Structure 1
Amino acid sequence: MMTENVIQALYQVIQERKACPMEGSYTNYLFKSGLDKILKKIGEESTEVIVAAKNKDKVETVTEICDLCYHILVLMAQKEIELNEIEAELEKRRQKIGNKKAEKAEVTVL
């Protein structure tokens, strides 16, 4: 299964849980807990990605990136953001490859 299909399939399951909650589902728990809980989990998972990467543990880094991606998809479903919206924005950004931002001016201390 291609990466795109895996993400689409996972997003579909998340949307189904939102529409038809399943008792005992972690996804259902997140939706029931609300936006603050979802955002808290994204913050936690982001930190765990950073720590795993800093520790140079590839397996743990992959695992934590997957956790972060899942929670981002839950946020997207909560905020009714579709995958094609993300894809369109990434495509716009891809078109700008080589369009490097100018270096920021150095800060001088007075």
Structure 2
Amino acid sequence: MTTLSRLAATIQARKGADPESSWTAKLLSKGPEKCAEKFGEEAVEAIIEAVKGDRAKLTAEAADVLYHLLVMLAARDVTLDEVLDELDRREGTSGLAEKAARG
């Protein structure tokens, strides 16, 4: 099991937990919109660090982005496996061709 898989499983397990006992449960209890907002905030922070060029800070912010992405997905009952299956489906397809097919 990968680190992301373990994290996704932990997040899933926290869905029914007491919001006072877990940051993840607290986020999830606020609903999908708040989870999406928090993901967006973390993504912006990662962008800022990428522009600044601080590798350590970018690494930390990227970890936050991945965590909050998984929380946002869990809030909408989308699993990591579903996302990975979509990536597998796209593998070997030109990014330009894939984008054109969507749009």
Q: TM-score, normalised by structure 2?
A: 0.85
Q: Find the counterpart in structure 2 of residue 5 from structure 1.
A: 2
User: For residues 93 and 16 of structure 1, do their structure 2 counterparts lie closer, same or farther at Cα, with a shift above 3 Å needed?
Assistant: same
Aligned length: 97
Give unpaired runs (5+ residues) of structure 2: 98-103
Match of residue 39, structure 2, among 39, 42, 57: 42
RMSD of Structure 2 on Structure 1 (CA) = 1.6
Tell me which amino acid in the other structure corresponds to 2:96: K
Query: Of 69, 73, 95, which aligns to 1:72?
Result: 69
Determine which structure has the larger helix proportion and give its number: 2
In the alignment, residue 29 of structure 1 is paired with which amino acid? K
Q: Match for 2:49: what amino acid?
A: A
Between the aligned partners of 1:79 and 1:87, the Cα distance in structure 2 is 16
Gaps of 5+ in 1: 103-110
* Equivalent in 81, 84, 89 of residue 87 of structure 1: 84
Following TM superposition, where does structure 1 have runs of at least 4 consecutive aligned residues deviating by more than 2 angstroms?
19-24, 99-102
Change (3 A) 1:22 1:44: closer
- Higher CA-based Rg: 1
CA contact (8 A) 2:19 2:29 kept: no
Tell me whether 38-47 or 18-27 shows the greater mean CA deviation. Answer: 18-27
Q: Which residue of 1 aligns with 2:96?
A: 101
1:23 aligns with 2:11: no
